[in-house]
Every structure is written in C-alpha cells, then in structure tokens.
Amino acid sequence: MADISKCPPLTRSSVQAAHNLIRSNIHLTPVLTCQTLTDIASTPQSPEALKGTEYEGKEPARPKINLFFKCENLQKIGAFKARGAFHALARLTDEDLERGVVTHSSGNHAQALALAARTRGVKAHIVMPTISTPSKIAGTKSYGADVIFSGSTSTEREAVVADVIARTGAILVPPYDHPDIILGQGTMALELETQVEDLIAKNPELGARQRVVNGAKERNGDVRHKQALHAVIAPCGGGGMLSGIATALEGTGITVFGAEPEFEGADDAVRGLVAGKRVESVKTLTIADGLRTPVGEIPWTIISDKKKVRGVYSVSEEQIKAAMKLVMERMKVFVEPSAVVGLAVVLYDEGFRRLVEEESGEEGWNIGVIFSGGNTTLEAIAKLFEASEEKKERAEGVRGRDGERVAENVAG
C-alpha cells in the first residue's frame, strides 16, 4: 500500500478528494425508502420480543424513525468494497502496480480488488478462507485473480499473504486497515448525505422536520444549511466502512452508529468499547460472513472516539435473518446477511430504539441505513431459512399504524 506517513489525513475533505478520484470507477448507488419498514421501525416492540432482556416488563420504546437505505448491494461487484479498492490502487505508483497486488478477504474485498486490478491491468493474488461463500469465490476468479485458500481467522489469512509477498513481491492492499481504504469507503456517506437531502426536498413527507445546523465556510462567509439526515448506521467488521463514514460525516451534525452480529464473539467492537481496548482476534461462524474479522488498528482509533462514532450495537442471528426476510419480501431488494445488521439494530435493539426516542423528541430521526452488499445465492438463502423453520412460531405479528399485520418481531 501507499506509505501511511504520506497518506492524506483522515478528514472529510480527504474523503471528498477520494470521491473525485474514484467517481468514474464506481456506481452512484441509489437511496431507497420503504414506508412499511419505516412504519415497523416506528412501532413499539411486542412484550414477547423483550422477554429475556433487561427491558422485560417495561414499556417498549416508541421512537419515530424514517429510514433511508443506501444500496451498496448495487455497487460494482455487489458491495461497497469497490470504493476502497479503486481508491487504494489509484494511490499506488506505476512502479508499485507492476509488482502486482495481494490481499486477504472472505469475498467482497476479494472481488473488489480483483476488479480494480483487472481495470488497471494489474496482477491480483487473493487469499480467501476455504469457508468463503462459493459465489464470492467464483466472482473473484471471474475477474482473473489468482485465488489462494487459507484458514478462516485473520491470523491464518495473514500468514498466507506473507508467503505470497515473499514469493511474488506483490503489494499488500489490506481489506480495511489503511487510510486509503478508509477514505475510499467513506465516499458512500457523502453521496447518502446529498441524496437524502434531495429526496426530502422533493418529498418532505418522507422525513422528519429538517433542522438547521452550522454549515461549512464558503466564499461568501459562514452559511447555514438544512440537515436532512440525523443519523447513519452501518455494519462493522474490520471497521473500514464504519470509520470511513464517521470521517466523512465529522462536523456535519450527523450521528454515526455501528452494528455487529453477536454470535460467537463477532461483536468485538462492542466488547472492545466496554473494555477500553481493541479486541485483536475473532473466530466466529456468524451468518454475517463479511463481519467475521476484528476491527483493525486504524479504524479502531476512529470507532473508539465517541465524538466520531456514538456507539456500536449487536444483534442475534435470528434478528439478522428476520431483517433480511423483511428487506427481501417488503422492499424486493436482494441483500446478504451482513448488509442488514444495521437494520436489525434499528428494528430490534431496544437500547438503540430508546436512545432515538429520547434524543429525537416529537420530530423523530431520519436514519440512513447502509446495505453493504448483496453477494449471496438463492441456495444459501434457502439453507439459512430452513434452519429457522422450527423457530417460526416464536415470531409474533406486530401491527402498524393502520392496524394491519406488517412484520414479524423476533425475540432474542
């Protein structure tokens, strides 16, 4: 990678510069709304859903939430990772590129780097865990990359990467732990901010009342602008995307949150924030396979700063599946499990929902939810939900504002 000491600072202006650099290589992914999911998010959870939690027997939260979905599942290679990969290669010299590039990834960064390398005419070596989703392996190979398999932990992956570098001299392009990756991923937040402003300007009924905040300093002096987004929530694995979003939105008044799966210790950011130190190793088989890695050192410096990331929340496997089911059935949008972890927090984490209720007041919050990717298969989805059939009766209907059955509220 480019020498970290020579990288641009992790600032909003650097994200804007990164966006200008990669704009021609990425899609401007759409921002969608869904009244049904907005209604569900604004509906109190059922008593059954709160059983076994610290909120059992208490009045459920009644937040007012308007949802705006940034569809990075429609990005090139089917995930946000294309942003960081293209930016990382754009920052390398021609001499560096002649050596080829190498990385380790469970799938989305693998495909992203393979595509970026092919676009630039560069050889790519991709180390992938043997348990990676078959469609992601096939996608990576389809871009002409040399795929080498490894164990599932970050330590095992990195050992194979070291062998590749020793053998080929390739330049490492890490999946998340580098400023160039972070800045590239943060570009989605710039788009989301503007897209939501435009949507609400055209259709005011889509969002809560806009509030006026201090704007950036422009030629004619200090200005003030209407802030459409109140918060953004994004999945957190290695933390490149979450830290990039926080960097892009710093100083805007928009609050940033992270979301993780809790299965088998996948919630390393949550645990690290409680302990006051980064968790360095994670070994989990959560269904959110893109979030199986620990937060990187550089992303951690941002995620652990409460002025940049307000908090990180975790959800169960059943809650992730419930959110995924809603997105596919109600929005007709194809997503992978990792992509809906943020939505699962909004719908099912009572602590998050109470925070929104307390801080938003009568106006409510406009919340941007990142759909990080859509790289899965119908076969994988079928297996995922086959395993949940025996728990079907645990799901209870909750009623929307019109009294109709609108969703399934999952305990856990």
Active-site positions?
81, 106
The residue whose two tokens read 């968790």 is 279
Torsion-angle region of 52 (φ positive above 0: left; ψ -120 to 50: alpha; else: beta): left
Whether 103 contacts 116, CB under 8 Å = no
- Output helix, strand, coil percentages for the chain, rounded to the nearest 5: 50, 20, 35
Give the integer Cα–Cα distance in Å for 35 and 361: 20
Cα–Cα distance measured from residue 68 to residue 369, given in angstroms and rounded to the nearest whole number: 6
Going from the C-alpha of 346 to that of each of 157, 232, 262, 292, 320, the distances in angstroms are 33, 11, 15, 21, 11
CB neighbours of residue 264 within 10 Å: 13
Q: For residues 294 and 255, what is the distance between their CA atoms, to the nearest angstrom? A: 23
How far apart (Å, rounded) are the C-alpha atoms in residues 192 and 411? 31
For the beta carbon of residue 15, count every other beta carbon within 10 angstroms.
Answer: 26
